[in-house]
Structure 1
Amino acid sequence: MARLHGKRAIITGGGNGIGAAAAMLFVREGAQVAILDTDREAGERAAAAAEAEGGEVLFLQADVSEPEDVEDAIDEAAGTFGGLDVLYNNAGGAAPRDGSFLDIPLEEFWRTVSVDLYGTFLASRIAVPYIQEAGGGAVINTASIRALKGTRGADAYSAAKGGIVALTRAMALQCGPLGIRVNAIAPGAVLTDRTRGLGMTDEIDPQWRVAPGQPLEVAELAVFLASDEASLVNGAIIPADGGGAAF
């Protein structure tokens, strides 16, 4: 039987990169999937690609930093699927204007925190009651290698992802008794269309001392954490970085 057979999942930021790869894998493993993204064109493209795997896929345009958007989208997904079992908080990312805390534009700091950290908080706050009603399930958050070690050049992103690490552990304590596992994936450098646009290549990065990963490699870990195979995994922050955090 497929690893996610019968599970109903939401993937935020599912239009591109890791999110789009996860949507495809979740459907392949038997889940119904709702993709949330601000980019309608990308979201619809990702939904069509995932649906080609033979499952039910729903695209909902939403900005995870806007409470009304998130509530409407999650309510619609849960209503369409008849419930919710999995939330994958994948939306977020650093931006070209991120940098040192000494000179990063103030609006860039708040933009990053509002999407990455606040967006994770909002989606979890709204989705967890549905998951509890379904009898339990999983929440998967997205941290970063930058939350696990000191790095240069993306202090807003590092702060937001560090907040997600702390939030994940707090949520796990509260949600565990409800039958809901809450874990976080901490990717290292991953080669996506966005990171290519920021200048990343497939060469070994001197900062991380490893070559970038591929979206599917991170998405495979998300499938595991969403599945019943991860029944004993709660409150974990799992690196997916080729060993970058170890150096």
Structure 2
Amino acid sequence: MMVRLQDKVALVTGGGAGIGRATVELFAREGAKVVIAEWNEDAGRAALDAVHAAGGEALFVPTDVSDEDAMKALVDKTLQAYGKIDILHNNAGGSTTNDGPIHTVSNDEFWLKMHVDVFGTWLGCRLVIPHMMEAGGGSIINMTSVNAIIGVKNRNAYAVAKGAVSSLTRALAVQYGQYGIKVNAIAPGRTLSERVLARQGNRGPEDLKDDSHLLGVIEPEEIARSVLYLATDDSSKTTGHTLVVDSGLTIQ
């Protein structure tokens, strides 16, 4: 069986759950050595165990992506273990139930989104790109959201953060294309991560159908397959692009 990431080294932030874990497991099945960055140690070790149980190779590094020293240590440990970073998936982040309209949401919630979603992505790119430049290329996949494309109620802080990630993606694609570095983003629609399921009372996909998602709500594995596309040479001439995987939400 042909694997598409043979001999590649992939760093995935927020790799312990949801889209991140699905991506970690898919990358490992495709032959990559995967570094799992995750602040929740139980989730990170569970993802590591799952990769090892399936015969893959992975490393878990407990990481707070909003902490510059922790991110420097993450990159250093990755390079010590594997010598390079071919793929960076800045996945850590997400919305919370504390978000809301701008006139009621707390400044703390706003800064949480800025620190994790925006600064965490900024740090990942800032610290990894020099090594990709030296190696002659690489692929960066950031995580934005349909909330950066259409207006959505009660997600004002999240929308600002994900809009910033989208803008950063385009800017970096222009800045670093000359070094063979692709920089793209994924904008998911409603995805059944553990966080979303818990917020919905752990109801399953059949219970969460709605008219806005034409093909049904999205499983984390379906987003992971899109991340894989952007990580491989199948997308060799795709950069600065936000791939919308939203089951038709934004076309209506």
When normalised by structure 2's length, the TM-score is 0.95
Give the 5 Å matches for 1:1-247: 1-199=2-200, 201=203, 202=205, 203-205=208-210, 211-247=216-252
Q: Does the CA-based 8 Å contact 2:16-2:38 persist in structure 1?
A: yes
Q: Kindly provide the CA deviation profile for residues 48-79 of structure 1, in whole angstroms up to 9, marking residues without a partner as x.
A: 11222322100000100010001111111122
Aligned partners of 1:129, 1:144: CA distance in 2, in Å?
Answer: 27
How far has the Cα of 1:205 moved from its partner? 3.3
Q: Does the CA-based 8 Å contact 1:78-1:130 persist in structure 2?
A: no
Gapped regions of structure 1 (runs ≥ 5): none
Aligned partners of 1:225, 1:137: CA distance in 2, in Å?
Answer: 11
Q: Kindly provide the CA deviation profile for residues 95-154 of structure 1, in whole angstroms up to 9, marking residues without a partner as x.
A: 111011111011011011110011000111001111222221100000001011111111
Q: Does the CA-based 8 Å contact 1:204-1:210 persist in structure 2?
A: no
Q: Does the CA-based 8 Å contact 2:45-2:60 persist in structure 1?
A: yes
Q: Does the CA-based 8 Å contact 2:121-2:165 persist in structure 1?
A: yes
Letter in 2 for 1:2: V
Compute the RMSD of aligned alpha carbons.
Answer: 1.3
Runs of 4+ in 1 over 6 A off after TM superposition: none
Deviates more, 1:194-203 or 1:36-45: 194-203
Deviates more, 1:196-205 or 1:71-80: 196-205
When normalised by structure 1's length, the TM-score is 0.97
Aligned partners of 2:54, 2:228: CA distance in 1, in Å?
Answer: 15
Aligned partners of 2:215, 2:164: CA distance in 1, in Å?
Answer: 25
Q: Does the CA-based 8 Å contact 2:170-2:240 persist in structure 1?
A: yes
Letter in 1 for 2:227: A
Aligned partners of 1:179, 1:63: CA distance in 2, in Å?
Answer: 28
CA gap 1:155/1:205 in 2 versus in 1, 3 angstroms: farther
Letter in 2 for 1:104: V
Aligned partners of 1:207, 1:222: CA distance in 2, in Å?
Answer: 23
Aligned sequence identity (%): 40
How far has the Cα of 1:207 moved from its partner? 5.6
Q: Does the CA-based 8 Å contact 2:214-2:247 persist in structure 1?
A: no
Letter in 2 for 1:98: D
Letter in 2 for 1:39: N
Letter in 2 for 1:213: I
Deviates more, 1:35-44 or 1:70-79: 70-79
Aligned pair count reads 247
Gapped regions of structure 2 (runs ≥ 5): none
Aligned partners of 1:134, 1:29: CA distance in 2, in Å?
Answer: 21
